[in-house]
Amino acid sequence: MSVNEQELLTVITNKIWVDADACPNPVKEMLFRASERKSIQLVLVANQMIKVPISPLISMIRVSSGFDEADNYIVEQVAQGDLVVTADIPLASDAVDKGALVLNPRGTVYTVENIKQILTMRDFMEEMRSSGIHTGGPNSFSQTDKHAFAQALDKWLAKLIPSKI
């Protein structure tokens, strides 16, 4: 198999996996458009039904409502080179370990270089909350977050499929 055939095979098999239970609707809408525009498979995984456009490229997997069921499903299925969209840090860490690119809905890219530090900070904040210290929650999803996600997604798509628009 030539290098070009091997690259094409990689492109064809890459997927986008979405931890869809808490994924903001504007992010899902961007992913629906990107899937169609770039002809890439998009899989949303959630404990509840999520409305998705009718498309051979877009699917929705409903998992049981147990703790981390969607996360576990994604980790079992994800392959090297896939994109995972999640705000869940432990899921992000597992996906990075499997060679996936991980992007949170606010545009932060999780990598081998930064995920352990982010996971440690998350665990520290969880420990503080469990000891009764109020740490506050995340800010509401903003236009800046939406723009940052769009830029990071476009970067990944450009590397994956240089010019298929």
Task: Encode pLDDT of 45-80 as tens digits.
Answer: 999 999 999 999 999 999 998 888 999 999 999 999
Which residue, 117, 86, 97, 101, is CA-closest to 14?
101
CB atoms within 10 A of CB 31: 24
Cross-strand bridge partners of residue 17: 43, 84
Give the chain's length.
165
pLDDT tens figures, 73-129: 999 999 999 999 999 989 999 999 999 999 999 999 998 787 777 677 666 567 656
Q: Cα torsion for 111, 114, 119, 120, to the nearest 10°?
A: 160
pTM for the predicted model, two decimal places: 0.80
Higher pLDDT, 11 or 37: 37
| Of the candidate ranges 20-34, 41-55, 119-133, the one whose mean pLDDT is the lowest | 119-133
